């Protein structure tokens, strides 16, 4: 380095100046190709990155479209299932309530008939003969003319008429009482009729509600089928919510699985031995894990055969008899495994007790401490029972993992699609930005290049301006031969201006 | 790819990863051989040895092996092995074995009246390496509970190298003798001599005098 610095002169400054001048000259003469190289590099990189960005944008659009299709297809399936379920409910409602409608109709008809009969019976009353009072009055008003026999006869007639009147009145009163009794007998019939009418109203109301639900589902289905943006937005939001909720529940299930594993891993070593390994894992641990996985698998099959989940189309499409058989088999295996787990949990407790006793004997626990431990022995059954119950219940709890698992898998597709779209969009924007940045950097480098050779460039600019001013003065002086020389000068000016243009273009 | 296929792939991938680790793996069990010096006044330290044995019994698991032997005038003999066992693969049976082992050691400690006339540590070491190599364990340990002062009968030959490949040798409770107090270099020379013999044979040498730190006895992997 020092040798290079003193190549031209012993004085470093002089030598450096010579180097600088030399470099400046070289850079000045190489200005055009250097500028060209930087410009083409910048433009090339920008174009490549813009092309990449455009391709990524196309991919993003394609993915968005695909995600939309997947989302709509999933939502369509879901809506179809819901509508199917609504129809099933309506069918059940109709089968349950309206199947009894003929009987109900018969009951109502019988009640109406009874009411009619009763009404008819209550209407047949013996009316009080209106002439009786007049007859009595007429007989009472007859002159007896002092004849005691006539008076007696009249009195007898009057008495007989009055007796008959009383009897008739009594008969009428009895008849009225009978009618009231009949009318009061109608009351339960009315009530029955009212109840039946209420039952019919409730059934129809329930059916009405279901049909409204069905209408809503159908409207949603229509929206999804049309592929409206609002439906897609709503579905995306729903998928994200489902993803997080299902993820949370799955995390809880995994925790439950770990506790389950801890319950049965130690006693498993009693069954398969605690010394053998498969890879880096103990065989007993793998056996415990397999039992838990089988329980989960049985839970999946059980919920699948109950048609709660639809992860396996083969099971869903089975005929009902086969599905019921599968349900029974899965449930039986699950119960057996739960029983095994409960017994393993109990064995774990026994092993823990044995180990504790051994540790105490090895560490030489004093009799007093042993006495304290013995005093707690009466409560030892509590953790034992607790472990057994946990061992029995956890497999069934794990069986329900199928529901959040299904939601998680379904929503995972949407979430992954969204993440992928986001990532592609980010890369696309970054590529475009990088392209522009590189292009600008190249332009900056060109300016920096010019800055390094600003002295020769300034000289060049000065020379050009001097030359142009000389020509301007020459143009201003009138010349006799101007007419002859004008074309030649014009052409020269034209050439010069063309040269200037080239310089300006190069500078740009 | 439908959901079933995805699930199958998701299950098969980790399973294949786990199973790819299967095959011939190095044994992970341990084998421990404890040599107890029963010569002279060192018998007074026997209760400490019992504590060490109890600690070992509490920490060894199914598949591990343990043997306790005494160092006497001629220790290269199976007769000097006080108790030995390989723990059963079932934890409950292993616990029973540990109880029996402890009982055997306790009986020996209670019945020991007189110390041996000589101290054949090298013979005990040879016996230990033989036993440990037979177990085929992944980790092999020899614990020497002694003052490391070898005192051989006149006609015994023990000055030859011992092969102790992959065996961890730990000297426990190496007490100082009266002569060591006069010239501590004797003690240091004794330790150096044994370290040299063990490392030369391919073993690994450690000294642990503070029995409060028994957790360092077996270096867990």
- B21 domain-assigned: no
- B10 domain-assigned: no
Helix extents (H) in B30-90 = 46-59
- B3 domain-assigned: no
Query: What's the whole-number mean pLDDT along residues B203-217?
Result: 82
Q: Is the pLDDT of residue A342 over 90?
A: yes
Where b means 16+ CB within 10 Å and e means fewer, A336-373 reads ebbebbbebbbbbbebeeebeebeebbeeeeeeeeeee
B197 C-beta neighbours (distance < 10 Å), count: 20
Give residue A493's pLDDT.
46
- In angstroms, the CA B220 to CA B62 distance is 16
CB A145, CB A153: distance < 8 Å: no
What is the count of structural domains for chain B?
Answer: 1
Give residue B148's pLDDT.
85
Give residue A442's pLDDT.
93
Check residues B59 and B6 and name the one with the higher pLDDT.
B59
Q: What is the DSSP letter of A6?
A: T
Q: Is the CB of B99 less than 8 angstroms away from the CB of A361?
A: yes
Q: What is the DSSP letter of B86?
A: E
Query: What's the whole-number mean pLDDT along residues A114-137?
Result: 68
Query: What's the whole-number mean pLDDT along residues A80-100?
Result: 79
Give residue A19's pLDDT.
87
Coil, strand or helix at A90: helix
Q: Is the pLDDT of residue B45 over 90?
A: no
Query: Angle, nearest 10°, between helix axes A148-226 and A131-141?
Result: 160
Looking at residue B131, which CATH number applies to its domain? 3.40.50.410
Give residue A127's pLDDT.
57
Query: What's the whole-number mean pLDDT along residues A387-401?
Result: 92
Q: Is the CB of A276 less than 8 angstroms away from the CB of B89?
A: yes
A281 interfacial to chain B (CB closer than 8 Å): yes
Specify the pTM. 0.62
Query: What's the whole-number mean pLDDT along residues B179-192?
Result: 87
Q: Is the CB of B18 less than 8 angstroms away from the CB of A277?
A: no
B62 interfacial to chain A (CB closer than 8 Å): yes
Question: Which two three-digit tokens encode residue A74?
Answer: 């999933």
Coil, strand or helix at A185: helix
Give residue A371's pLDDT.
56
CB A98, CB A463: distance < 8 Å: no
- In angstroms, the CA A352 to CA A259 distance is 16
Q: Which of A40-44, A271-275, A465-469, B30-34 has the lowest mean pLDDT?
A: A271-275
What percent of chain A clears pLDDT 70, i.e. is strictly above it? 87
Contacts of A364 in chain B (CB under 8 A): 54
Q: What is the DSSP letter of A393?
A: H
Q: Is the pLDDT of residue B41 over 80?
A: no
Give residue A481's pLDDT.
52
Rounded to 10 degrees, the C-alpha dihedral A331/A332/A334/A337 comes to 170
A361 interfacial to chain B (CB closer than 8 Å): yes
- In angstroms, the CA A337 to CA A227 distance is 47
Coil, strand or helix at B140: strand
Structure confidence by residue, pLDDT tens digits, B111-157 = 887 778 788 889 999 999 999 999 988 899 999 998 888 888 888 88
- B7 domain-assigned: no
Q: Of A144-148, A261-265, A373-377, give the range with the top mean pLDDT.
A: A261-265
**Between A312, A355, A361, which is nearest B4 by CB?**
A312
CB A392, CB A341: distance < 8 Å: yes
How many helices (DSSP H) and strands (DSSP E) are in chain A?
15, 2
B92 interfacial to chain A (CB closer than 8 Å): yes
Query: What's the whole-number mean pLDDT along residues A370-377?
Result: 58
Q: How far is CA B221 from CA A56, B5, B139, B193, in A?
A: 50, 40, 9, 28
Q: Is the pLDDT of residue B26 over 80?
A: no
> How far is B156 from chain A, CA to nearest CA, in Å?
38
- In angstroms, the CA A83 to CA A89 distance is 10
- B203 domain-assigned: yes
Q: Which of A37-46, A76-85, A196-205, A473-482 has the lowest mean pLDDT?
A: A473-482
> How far is A404 from chain B, CA to nearest CA, in Å?
14
Contacts of A359 in chain B (CB under 8 A): 58
- B9 domain-assigned: no
A416 interfacial to chain B (CB closer than 8 Å): no
- B106 domain-assigned: yes
> How far is B81 from chain A, CA to nearest CA, in Å?
21
Q: Is the pLDDT of residue A482 over 50?
A: no
Tokens 């009595």 sit at which residue?
A136
A433 interfacial to chain B (CB closer than 8 Å): no
CB B132, CB B27: distance < 8 Å: no
B95 lies in which domain range? 30-216
Half-sphere exposure of A385 (CA within 13 A, CB side): 5
The dihedral through the CA atoms of A308, A312, A317, A322 has a sign that is: negative
> How far is A73 from chain B, CA to nearest CA, in Å?
14
Q: Is the pLDDT of residue A384 over 60?
A: yes
Average pLDDT taken over every residue of chain A: 82
Give the largest CA-CA distance in chain A: 192
Check residues B142 and A222 and name the one with the higher pLDDT.
B142
> How far is B106 from chain A, CA to nearest CA, in Å?
11
Q: Is the pLDDT of residue A348 over 50?
A: yes
- B182 domain-assigned: yes
Residue A420's pLDDT band (cuts 50, 70, 90): very high
Query: What's the whole-number mean pLDDT along residues A91-109?
Result: 78
Where b means 16+ CB within 10 Å and e means fewer, B135-152 reads bebbbbbbbbbbbbbbeb
ipTM of the complex: 0.72
Give residue A491's pLDDT.
46
Query: What's the whole-number mean pLDDT along residues A100-113?
Result: 80
Q: Is the CB of B62 less than 8 angstroms away from the CB of A270?
A: no
Structure confidence by residue, pLDDT tens digits, A302-336 = 999 998 888 888 888 888 899 999 999 999 999 99
Task: Tell me, rounded to whole angstroms, the distance of Cα A306 from its chain centroid.
Answer: 22
Give residues 27 to 46 of A whose Cβ lies within 8 Å of B.
none
């Amino acid at each position: 380095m020092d040798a290079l610095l003193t190549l031209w002169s012993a004085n470093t400054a002089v030598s450096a100046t010579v180097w600088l001048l030399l470099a400046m000259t070289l850079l000045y003469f190489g200005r055009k190709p250097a500028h060209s190289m930087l410009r083409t590099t910048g433009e090339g990189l920008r174009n490549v990155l813009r092309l990449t960005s455009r391709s990524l944008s196309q991919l993003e659009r394609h993915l968005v479209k695909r995600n939309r299709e997947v989302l709509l297809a999933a939502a369509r399936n879901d809506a179809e299932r819901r509508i199917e379920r609504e129809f099933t409910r309506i069918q059940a409602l109709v089968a349950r309530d309206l199947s009894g409608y003929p009987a109900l109709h018969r009951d109502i008809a019988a009640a109406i008939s009874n009411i009619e009969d009763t009404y008819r019976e209550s209407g047949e009353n013996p009316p009080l003969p209106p002439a009786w009072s007049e007859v009595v009055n007429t007989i009472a008003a007859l002159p007896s003319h002092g004849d005691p026999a006539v008076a007696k006869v009249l009195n007898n007639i009057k008495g007989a008429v009055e007796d008959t009147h009383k009897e008739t009145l009594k008969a009428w009163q009895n008849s009225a009482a009978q009618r009231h009794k009949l009318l009061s007998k109608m009351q339960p019939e009315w009530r029955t009729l009212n109840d039946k009418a209420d039952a019919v109203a409730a059934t129809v109301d329930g059916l009405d509600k279901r049909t409204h639900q069905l209408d809503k589902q159908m409207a949603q289905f229509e929206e999804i089928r049309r592929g409206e943006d609002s439906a897609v937005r709503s579905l995306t939001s729903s998928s994200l919510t489902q993803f997080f909720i299902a993820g949370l529940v799955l995390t809880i299930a995994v925790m439950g699985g770990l506790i389950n594993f801890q319950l049965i891993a130690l006693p498993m070593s009693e069954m398969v031995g605690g010394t053998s390994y498969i890879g880096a894992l103990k065989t007993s641990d793998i056996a415990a894990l397999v039992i838990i996985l089988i329980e989960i698998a049985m839970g999946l099959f059980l919920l699948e055969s109950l048609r709660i989940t639809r992860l396996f189309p083969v099971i869903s499409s089975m005929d009902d008899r086969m599905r019921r058989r599968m349900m029974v088999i899965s449930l039986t295996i699950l119960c057996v495994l739960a029983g095994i787990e409960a017994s393993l949990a109990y064995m774990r407790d026994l092993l823990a007790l044995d180990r504790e006793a051994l540790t105490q004997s090895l560490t030489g626990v004093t009799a007093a401490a042993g006495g304290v431990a013995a005093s707690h022995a009466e409560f030892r059954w509590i953790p034992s029972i607790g472990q057994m119950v946990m061992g029995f219940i956890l497999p069934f709890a794990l069986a329900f993992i199928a529901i959040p698992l299904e939601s998680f898998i379904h929503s995972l597709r949407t979430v992954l699609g969204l993440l992928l779209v986001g990532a592609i969009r980010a890369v696309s924007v970054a590529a475009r930005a990088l392209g522009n940045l590189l292009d600008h950097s190249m332009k900056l480098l060109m300016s920096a290049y010019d800055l390094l050779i600003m002295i020769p460039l300034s000289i060049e600019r000065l020379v050009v301006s001097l030359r142009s001013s000389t020509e301007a003065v020459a143009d201003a002086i009138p010349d006799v031969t101007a007419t002859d020389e004008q074309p030649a000068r014009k052409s020269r000016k034209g050439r010069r201006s063309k040269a200037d243009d080239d310089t300006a273009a190069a500078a740009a | 790819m439908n959901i079933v296929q995805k699930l199958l792939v998701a299950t098969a991938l980790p399973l294949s990863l786990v199973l790819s680790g299967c095959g011939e793996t190095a044994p992970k069990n341990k084998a421990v051989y404890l040599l107890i010096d029963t010569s002279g006044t060192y018998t007074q330290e026997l209760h400490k040895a019992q504590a060490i044995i109890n600690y070992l019994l509490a920490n060894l698991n199914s598949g591990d092996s343990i043997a306790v032997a005494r160092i006497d005038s001629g220790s290269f003999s199976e007769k000097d092995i006080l108790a030995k066992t390989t723990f059963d693969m079932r934890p409950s049976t292993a616990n029973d074995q540990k109880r029996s082992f402890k009982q055997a050691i306790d009986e020996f400690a209670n019945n020991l009246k007189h110390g041996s006339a000589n101290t054949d540590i090298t013979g005990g070491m040879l016996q230990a390496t033989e036993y440990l190599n037979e177990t085929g364990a992944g980790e092999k340990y020899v614990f020497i509970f002694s003052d490391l002062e070898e005192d051989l009968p006149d006609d015994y030959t023990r000055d030859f190298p011992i092969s102790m490949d992959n065996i961890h040798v730990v000297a426990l409770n190496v007490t100082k003798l009266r002569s060591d107090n006069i010239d501590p270099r004797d003690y240091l020379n004794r330790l150096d001599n044994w370290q040299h013999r063990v490392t030369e044979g391919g073993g690994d040498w450690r000294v642990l005098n503070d029995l409060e730190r028994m957790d360092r006895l077996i270096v867990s992997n």
